[in-house]
Structure 1
Amino acid sequence: MTSTAITKQLEGSQTQIKSLSGILKATKSEESALRRSLEEAQHRNAHLDKDMKIVRGKLGELHSFFVRLEDTDLSNVAAGLNRVWESATTLVMGFLNQDLPDDLLKRPWTALNDAAKFIMDTPLPQFNSVVAKELRIIKVLGILAEVIDKHMLQPTYQLSEDCQF
């Protein structure tokens, strides 16, 4: 091999080395960028894992309040409510169907008169006649009906599990 050929081969090798050196620098730079990106992704992943644990805890707490909806026999529910109403009526009548003492009749009955306005808007008579006793019974049962309606019969709308919402 001649010296010119060797020189050309050497120059070609040097050019190739420079080219490979540039590729190596670019690859190292890319590797460094990828490592930073990986570290950022791992940091975000750790943060998301922490958030997910918090959310799962809150979701578990919410699930503890859920009650599974089951089909109920409405006739049994109606019969039970009817028994409650009959017991309450008997109890109220037992207390209010008696003659009240005069000192109790003379007190202002604002709490009882103001409650259950839909039943009657006039004040209750403050004496022991049969009509007065019946009006007191009606008023107290009206208040009881409002409470039962408010706390037991107000609808709660829950979607079934197979609902598409």
Structure 2
Amino acid sequence: MKIRIIILTLLLSAQLQAQNNDLSLLTAYLDLKDALISNKSADASEAAVALTNAISKVKATNNNDAVSAAWKQHKDNLLKQADIITKAKDIEKQRTAFAELSLAYWPIVKLSTTGETLYYDYCPMKKSYWISAEESIKNPYYGAKMLTCGKVAEKIN
């Protein structure tokens, strides 16, 4: 009986840690998106540093094989794109890397344990996606120039 309790406690602890990692990663991603919406390159660089730290804390091994596979497939690219955003001084280069980052992050988000309602938005002008916690469109690829350009392509709860 004690062994079962210990095992259940360890499993629950691992699950809570995974959820905390998912939320930290999502928060950093959304901060990055918001910086790009506001045309703030320096803020985008700072958010990308936080994103890199959050990505680095995630373990590629998980109780869920699909989550583990997604992390193994996309983690290196997520780190690469976050690094490009961190180092770039030009917001357009940051936005290009953000498009790649968003594409790699979405399969992971779909399997995550955040419990948040999220939207996968599409910009037809840039032909790129981004993830948002809001249903209303705020386009990170063009900032104030085309703030509401785009549509919700997918929604998850």
Q: Select the structure of larger CA radius of gyration.
A: 1
- What TM-score do you get using the length of structure 2 for normalisation? 0.23
- What TM-score do you get using the length of structure 1 for normalisation? 0.22
Higher relative contact order, chain-length normalized (CA < 8 Å, sep 6+):
2
